[in-house]
Amino acid sequence: MDSTHESVTAARTGGCLCGLIRFIAKGEADYPHTCSCQHCKKRGGCPMMSWVAFSLDSFEWTGEGGEPTWYETFPGETKRGFCPTCGSHVAAIDSGDTWMGVNIPALDEPDGDEFVPVNQSFRGDAVSWLPQVPDRS
Ligand SMILES: [Zn+2]
Ligand SMILES: [Zn+2]
């Protein structure tokens, strides 16, 4: 392991339900938030997804399955990654972006203070029967 110029940030690990897709993120966690857009709802089968971003510099796919299977939700612009075996959603990335969006529940320890959502995207598409995350961004 090359730790000579790593910052002191703890490494976070995560992956899919079956363990085929695994990742490690060593950088700062950026902008934890939920999203109730149509893509999050349909892809997730849930009222909202929750996301946090990590710099690609410190992000690596480490599992036997390598990268997740990517589905382009906006072809050429945005793709979302899931495990081809168990279907767990683990990540999303915009074309050319330097940050990997990670599904917070894909983290092995998703309960840290740094993962408490500070905002909710696409409030207008949210279901009416679940309270929304307050804007603390
Ligand atoms: Zn899996
Ligand atoms: Zn969304």
Domains and CATH numbers, the chain: 12-125 (2.170.150.70)
Largest distance between two CA atoms of the chain: 50
- State the distance from the centre of ligand 2 to the C-alpha of 29, rounded, in angstroms: 18
Predicted confidence (pLDDT) per residue in 18-47, tens digit: 999 999 999 999 999 999 999 999 999 999
CA 58/CA 111 separation, integer angstroms: 21
- State the distance from the centre of ligand 2 to the C-alpha of 84, rounded, in angstroms: 21
**Per-residue burial over 62-73, b = 16 or more CB atoms within 10 Å of its CB, e = otherwise:** ebebeebeeeeb
Predicted confidence (pLDDT) per residue in 43-66, tens digit: 999 999 999 999 999 999 999 999
User: In the prediction, which pLDDT does 8 show?
Assistant: 53
At residue 5, does pLDDT exceed 60? Answer: no
Q: What is the pTM of this model?
A: 0.91
- State the distance from the centre of ligand 1 to the C-alpha of 68, rounded, in angstroms: 9
- State the distance from the centre of ligand 1 to the C-alpha of 137, rounded, in angstroms: 32
Nearest ligand (C-alpha, residue 123):
2
